[in-house]
Structure 1
Amino acid sequence: MPPLSKSHTSLASRRSSVFNFHQPAPQPDVYYVGVDVGTGSARACIIDTNGIILGLSERPITRHELKPSHITQSSTEIWNSICFCVKNCIRDSGVDPSDIFGIGFDATCSLVAISESNDQPVAVGPDFSDNKENIILWMDHRAVDETNAINATGDKCLKYVGGQMSIEMELPKIKWLKHHLPGGISDVKFYDLPDYLTHRATGSEARSFCSAVCKQGFVPLGVDDSTTGWSKEFLQQVDLDEICEDDFRKLGGIPNKNGTYLSAGDIVGKLTPQSAEELGLTTECIVGSGVIDAYAGWIGTVAGKVDIPKLQELSEKSDGSIGTACGRLAAVAGTSTCHIAMTKEPCFVQGVWGPYKDVMAPGYWLAEGGQSCTGALLAHVLSIHPAYSELAHLSEASNLSKFDYLNMILENLVTDTKSRSVVSLAKHMFFYGDFHGNRSPVADPRMKASIIGQSMDTSVNDLAIQYFGACEFIAQQTRQIVESLTKSGHDISCIFMSGGQCRNGLLMRLLADCTGLPVIIPRYIDAAVVFGSALLGAVAAEESVAEHVATKGRSRRSSILVSQKSQTSLHGGGGAVEEPHSPYTAPSATASTTNMSALVYPTAGHHFSMTPMDEGAEENVDYFNQPTYKPKVPTTSEEEESDEEETLSFGSKSNVQKGLSQKLNKLGLKPLSTLDSKKEKEPNAGDKLWKIMEKMTGPGKVILPSDPHHPDRKLLSAKYEIFLEQCKQQQQYRDLVDKVELENLKGLRV
């Protein structure tokens, strides 16, 4: 395999660049908590003022499908799981709860039903006697007819959700509940799950633009002559008169009248005494406005510090506003993948949700594309192959993951078959993998997979080739999404990845070579989303932290905390931490015990360099292995500088925090300059968010695309044309046979 392309910058220039720096000392008594609620688990993390994760905990949450397509969850269980995780983080990190200044939440875009009369959960069916099951999960597909009825209106609000409302959004679910919930929805108010969590934490009815605009049909004021956000005519047309009552009270009201709507990280309020006690925090902890989970992935990645000339050039020209993030595509990968990009002006993209205004920052627009299955696709391709059991046995015996083992097989096949490269090895495998329909840019749920090039080979080698085909499909479809965005006005400069797929070096290399864009892997691969939610808490608490630093802790906050600590010691509430479960029943916490102080706060003379992934790569080596972080120690000459790779873990627990305040005080280290008490011109909400993101996100790892004339790039470009043809022809074939069948049915009726 030919060697990978080199960095654009020399080692000497990188050494003097802004990306080589001493990690600043953390403010020893300032921390933030992030909470992430995914489809299958709740997570929490604690970060310091440099964005270093000091504790990370996870707990599974259940979902029920008592009837096909009816998938529910419990907000009570989710809140209890959040509290468990936050308390675990506090215990594991050694952080004093009174030093946690802010908390942020993200969650899936699921519908939560709550009684208006008592603020308690309301059953959403199919078992309406079980009020604990009060969440209709995003993936619930019960509201087929309701979705069709809503889309048949052609209302102008639909053009801001990709032209039609998805069955996974919330108005179809509300419409279904109106006609199936015993007694109707007269006593029910509705939240998107992130907004419910901030409500549960603060008691506030404030809603986020992220949830309302992206999933509920809210059109911000001034957009298309919107004066209330909600369209009374549209909601009445779809038979939802109830949620129009009292100026749309059930959905959060009208902005600046009876409702409050916030951008990411805006202050919602402080924790209530009850929620503070349940979380193990204090009532001085400030809650930032939440976001949908994929958007927290955007927050947690796109400000990563990387050595890419174009980004450096754009950063130098920027005015420090959040507009600097325009053109940075976040790919938040898991079972599926969401692609999120920001623009200053609205860009309408066929098959892509949005553009959504104000969801991240006032005056900016976001587009959301996506692939229906990526992680799920790779798992499916492996599981259905006859050699899957053999692969599982071989990979386990080799102490490798299945994907790493398949990557090794592909490397060996290149040698054994004397092929030019791994890409050439699969040149006659044409894999189109929309097994679960297409989200973007075709936006056709009827799309299915088609594979050309299969044989009767049932060996592990054949499985490796099909696995490569699935990886190539993911990368080619990403190129298709990027091109759709670009044609409509986006200027995409790079892709910021997150999620476990980042560990698959083959997939990351294919993404770079197919799209022709640098791919950046974040410092925290698996924790990028929960890290992003912690940044929301940091944004919300910024002024409180500045006051605390300016008064050296002698603030109203301090006196309140002293009082609360006394109350806690007397009554066992507030910051009391729940004891961990028995090791036989406790969920496994994922916080690392690696000593982060050695990696993140090095001794004098050490520094960090964010270099492209392929710098110094050996031939036939780094195609498959893409670590996330490379700390470098300077030596006396460039030739002697080490290229040893190290992977940065989630962060330390008590080993970092124990005694940290005392050590920093002895060293006389000053607070971070960004926490200086000097008053500056007040930035807008988006710029405050961007400042925190830039300060705390830390370094990323870069995979540069190969040269456009590289044989693999040329081959992948040729196969991209075939990919597009497979996509187009499937639709044509389906239309052809549907037309014939329609005529056949007409003939039978006659």
Structure 2
Amino acid sequence: MIQPKEGYYIGIDVGTGSARACLIDHHGEIVDVASENIGLWQPQQEYYEQSTSDIWRCICLVVRRTLDNKNISPSLVHGIGFDATCSLSLFSAKTDQPVSVTGPDFNTDRNVILWLDHRATKETEVINATGHNVLRYVGGKMSLEMEIPKILWLKNNMPEETFSDCKFFDLVDALTHIATGGDTRSFSSMVCKQAYIPKGVDGSEKGWQEDFLQDIGLGELGDRGFDRIGGVNGETGRHLHAGEFAGELCEESARQLGLNPGTAVGSGVIDAYAGWIGTVGAKVEMDTTRHLINGELVRSGSNERKEVFSRLAVVAGTSSCHIAMSPDHVFVPGVWGPYRDTTFPGCWMAEGGQSATGQLLKHVLETHPAFEEAQTKAQGLGVNIFEFLNSKLQDLAIQRKLPSIADLARHFFFYGDLFGNRSPLADSSMRGSIVGLSSDVSIDALAIHYYGTLEFIALQTKQIVDTMNGSGHQIRSIFMSGSQCQNHILVNLIASACNMPVVIPRYIHAAVCHGAAMLGVKAASVDANGTTADLWDVIDHMSQPGEAFYPSTDEHENAILKAKYQIFLDQSSRQREYRAIMDRATC
């Protein structure tokens, strides 16, 4: 078991719109959290850019703020860990300075192409047309959100001499690079893992798939031992697992952060993985009479290491990520990965996801004619719009003498892929549909539309879980964090739709940066041989008690959900059939 040094640890979470610092003590209790909005530029439609200089400035502000808020001496901070969005950042191989991603002149300080940037549509199509074996490791096809298509776009649009001078980082690795003073020997996890099959797997000899890079027109990335994209492990780079000792804060970075030079820096992870770390260790005493799946007792309350393979972490905010770990590689259509060694050595991570969940709810509510009226009434009652609508649903069911609120939307069928489908269809052209739409524009109608949206989120979660389990995963419980966990109607719907318990950690809003802080704990445990504590021991020690929600035992409500799932699947397949009919008619 790990016994962290008494004192404090810091987790840095860089999201799409803000940077957060989370200060925890050696028991894993959160002492303070501070946030600062980061710049986001949209030079044209579907282009999104950021600047590591701006991001680092915000990180320094929030770290100093947490220390000042609690009057913590820098000497008491032993470790720091980073997570960030899966975005691409560029630096000069010659000067180590940021390189602009803003065309056509490439002359700004914006050196980050954000994950949600869709400029590389054509490049993604070219990559997927190769049918290369590496695509098996990204769910069957490359996504617009990934880094490799973005790098190919840069090659196709940048001046040749500028592109040839670029080295490419995942954003989280860029931050570690800055924190340690640009020591590339301390550069941790692999950049652009979408072009990587672990050495020894599927005949891979180097890890990086040189023939794949050549096929798509990026063969030069293989020069000099792939040093522009992370290098070959043990030769031209180091590929560390989550939280391994990546180096120490350099003098300049420590001064900017208000910390001491020499503070341990943990190998960083993508934000969804930090959410997994901060979520799957939640401690609960399960009601063993209430979570039998197919007659089998599910021991999700145990925090034994082996139990982690049966837990799906759902990090639910603007979008939702579904993260599972397995002891062997499991290929799942439409689910990114499996990626080996990114978190635990020898283990594989898979990333499913819904492109829009919180964003979907926001869109559905704000575009409804009754939204302003409902918002005004909610404010008058001193509650948020979700609390108001949840209460409205309960009141409506009582007024109409219905068995449950599910009956309110009995003949209302909402399919919500308004922003495309990430998993399991991996189809960015998917869109939404409604069956049962009436002319009613009242708050009552808004409440039913809202409930239909919650149903959709829960049913699509079931579809992802079923697809993952059908491919070889053994998910038996869901550990969920993020802002949507506040909505108990949604959490209960997910538990009932998936027929498994949903566990919520104590820090639902800060699970991601709490997970990042655990990386700092692991890094600070480094010994003279460079060995750090086991990550699961860190997670188990630092995680706090959570709360469990169970599937409904109401047969009537479950019958509705079961029928709704059949309709949900039909709406999904019908949309594709309709598009095919139109394509045939106009070809």
**Could you tell me the TM-score, scaled by structure 1's length?**
0.74
Whether the 8 Å CA contact 1:211–1:291 is kept in 2: the answer is: no
Q: Which stretch of structure 1 is more off in the superposition, 389-398 or 201-210? A: 201-210
Match of 1:295 in 2: 273
Runs of 4+ in 1 over 6 A off after TM superposition: 682-685
Query: Counterparts of 2:471 and 2:324 in 1: how far apart (Å)?
Result: 12
Match of 1:714 in 2: 559
State the secondary structure of the residue aligned to 1:89. Answer: helix
Letter of the 2:549 counterpart: I
TM-fit CA distance, 1:284: 2.3
Query: Counterparts of 2:346 and 2:382 in 1: how far apart (Å)?
Result: 50
Match of 1:71 in 2: 48
Match of 2:240 in 1: 262
Q: Residue 538 in 1 paired to residue 517 in 2?
A: no
1:491 aligned to which of 470, 474, 477: 474
- Which residues of structure 1 form unaligned runs of 5+? 1-25, 548-681, 743-750
Match of 1:113 in 2: 90
Query: Counterparts of 1:96 and 1:351 in 2: how far apart (Å)?
Result: 47
**Cα-to-partner distance string for 1:134-169 (whole Å, 9 max, x where unaligned):** 111111111111111111111111110011111111
TM-fit CA distance, 1:710: 2.2
Match of 2:571 in 1: 726
TM-fit CA distance, 1:684: 8.6
TM-fit CA distance, 1:312: 8.2
Letter of the 1:720 counterpart: Y
TM-fit CA distance, 1:204: 2.9
Letter of the 2:434 counterpart: I
Match of 1:400 in 2: 383
State the secondary structure of the residue aligned to 2:389. Answer: helix
State the secondary structure of the residue aligned to 1:56. Answer: strand
Letter of the 2:269 counterpart: V
**Cα-to-partner distance string for 1:246-302 (whole Å, 9 max, x where unaligned):** 111111211111111011011101111111111111122101100000110000010
Q: Residue 163 in 1 paired to residue 163 in 2?
A: no
Note the 1:555-570 alignment, pairs <5 A.
none
Whether the 8 Å CA contact 1:301–1:497 is kept in 2: the answer is: yes
Change (3 A) 1:210 1:393: farther
Match of 1:689 in 2: 535
Match of 1:134 in 2: 111
**Cα-to-partner distance string for 1:503-523 (whole Å, 9 max, x where unaligned):** 111111111111111111111
**Cα-to-partner distance string for 1:311-353 (whole Å, 9 max, x where unaligned):** 984776x8x54x4310110001111100001111111111111
Query: Counterparts of 2:539 and 2:298 in 1: how far apart (Å)?
Result: 16
State the secondary structure of the residue aligned to 2:164. Answer: coil
TM-fit CA distance, 1:683: 13
Query: Counterparts of 2:418 and 2:64 in 1: how far apart (Å)?
Result: 40
Q: Which stretch of structure 1 is more off in the superposition, 227-236 or 204-213? A: 204-213
Match of 2:100 in 1: 123
TM-fit CA distance, 1:132: 1.0
Letter of the 1:381 counterpart: V
Q: Residue 143 in 1 paired to residue 132 in 2?
A: no
- Identify the structure with bigger relative contact order (alpha carbons < 8 Å, sequence gap 6+): 1
Match of 1:42 in 2: 19
Match of 2:545 in 1: 699
State the secondary structure of the residue aligned to 2:349. Answer: strand
Q: CA RMSD in A?
A: 1.9
Q: Residue 247 in 1 paired to residue 225 in 2?
A: yes
Match of 1:653 in 2: none
Query: Counterparts of 1:211 and 1:325 in 2: how far apart (Å)?
Result: 26
Query: Counterparts of 1:731 and 1:207 in 2: how far apart (Å)?
Result: 44
Match of 1:561 in 2: none
Q: Which stretch of structure 1 is more off in the superposition, 446-455 or 241-250? A: 241-250
Whether the 8 Å CA contact 2:106–2:158 is kept in 1: the answer is: no
Q: Residue 204 in 1 paired to residue 183 in 2?
A: yes
Note the 1:349-498 alignment, pairs <5 A.
349-498=332-481
Whether the 8 Å CA contact 1:286–1:540 is kept in 2: the answer is: yes
Whether the 8 Å CA contact 2:245–2:530 is kept in 1: the answer is: no
Whether the 8 Å CA contact 1:211–1:292 is kept in 2: the answer is: no
Q: Which stretch of structure 1 is more off in the superposition, 106-115 or 87-96? A: 87-96
Query: Counterparts of 2:469 and 2:530 in 1: how far apart (Å)?
Result: 30
1:177 aligned to which of 145, 154, 172: 154
TM-fit CA distance, 1:28: 8.3
Query: Counterparts of 2:347 and 2:313 in 1: how far apart (Å)?
Result: 16
Query: Counterparts of 2:513 and 2:214 in 1: how far apart (Å)?
Result: 38
State the secondary structure of the residue aligned to 1:70. Answer: coil
Change (3 A) 1:313 1:722: closer
Query: Counterparts of 1:735 and 1:208 in 2: how far apart (Å)?
Result: 45
Whether the 8 Å CA contact 1:208–1:359 is kept in 2: the answer is: no
Change (3 A) 1:224 1:510: same
Match of 1:4 in 2: none
Whether the 8 Å CA contact 1:210–1:291 is kept in 2: the answer is: no
Letter of the 2:567 counterpart: I
State, as a whole percentage, how many aligned pairs show the same letter: 47
Match of 2:72 in 1: 95
Q: Which stretch of structure 1 is more off in the superposition, 43-52 or 65-74? A: 65-74
Letter of the 2:236 counterpart: N
TM-fit CA distance, 1:426: 1.2
Whether the 8 Å CA contact 1:300–1:697 is kept in 2: the answer is: yes
Whether the 8 Å CA contact 1:204–1:268 is kept in 2: the answer is: no
Letter of the 1:96 counterpart: S
Change (3 A) 1:476 1:129: closer
TM-fit CA distance, 1:127: 5.4
Query: Counterparts of 2:300 and 2:491 in 1: how far apart (Å)?
Result: 24
- Which residues of structure 2 form unaligned runs of 5+? 292-296
Change (3 A) 1:65 1:114: same
TM-fit CA distance, 1:714: 1.6
Match of 2:294 in 1: none
Q: Residue 278 in 1 paired to residue 256 in 2?
A: yes
Q: Residue 741 in 1 paired to residue 561 in 2?
A: no
TM-fit CA distance, 1:130: 3.2
Letter of the 1:400 counterpart: V
State the secondary structure of the residue aligned to 1:269. Answer: strand
Query: Counterparts of 1:683 and 1:198 in 2: how far apart (Å)?
Result: 17
State the secondary structure of the residue aligned to 2:56. Answer: helix
Change (3 A) 1:364 1:436: same
Match of 1:188 in 2: 166
State the secondary structure of the residue aligned to 2:12. Answer: strand
Letter of the 1:301 counterpart: T
Change (3 A) 1:50 1:720: same
Change (3 A) 1:400 1:385: same
Match of 1:525 in 2: 508
Query: Counterparts of 1:210 and 1:114 in 2: how far apart (Å)?
Result: 16
State the secondary structure of the residue aligned to 1:261. Answer: coil
Letter of the 1:249 counterpart: D
TM-fit CA distance, 1:27: 7.4
Whether the 8 Å CA contact 1:210–1:360 is kept in 2: the answer is: no
Query: Counterparts of 1:366 and 1:29 in 2: how far apart (Å)?
Result: 32
Query: Counterparts of 1:407 and 1:496 in 2: how far apart (Å)?
Result: 23
Letter of the 2:504 counterpart: I
Letter of the 1:458 counterpart: V
Change (3 A) 1:313 1:438: closer
Letter of the 1:289 counterpart: S
Whether the 8 Å CA contact 1:39–1:108 is kept in 2: the answer is: yes
Query: Counterparts of 1:86 and 1:128 in 2: how far apart (Å)?
Result: 35
**Cα-to-partner distance string for 1:387-441 (whole Å, 9 max, x where unaligned):** 0110111111111100100011111101111111101121111111111111111
Change (3 A) 1:442 1:99: same
Query: Counterparts of 2:62 and 2:348 in 1: how far apart (Å)?
Result: 33
Letter of the 1:441 counterpart: P
Whether the 8 Å CA contact 1:411–1:422 is kept in 2: the answer is: yes
Q: How many residues align?
A: 574
Letter of the 1:45 counterpart: C
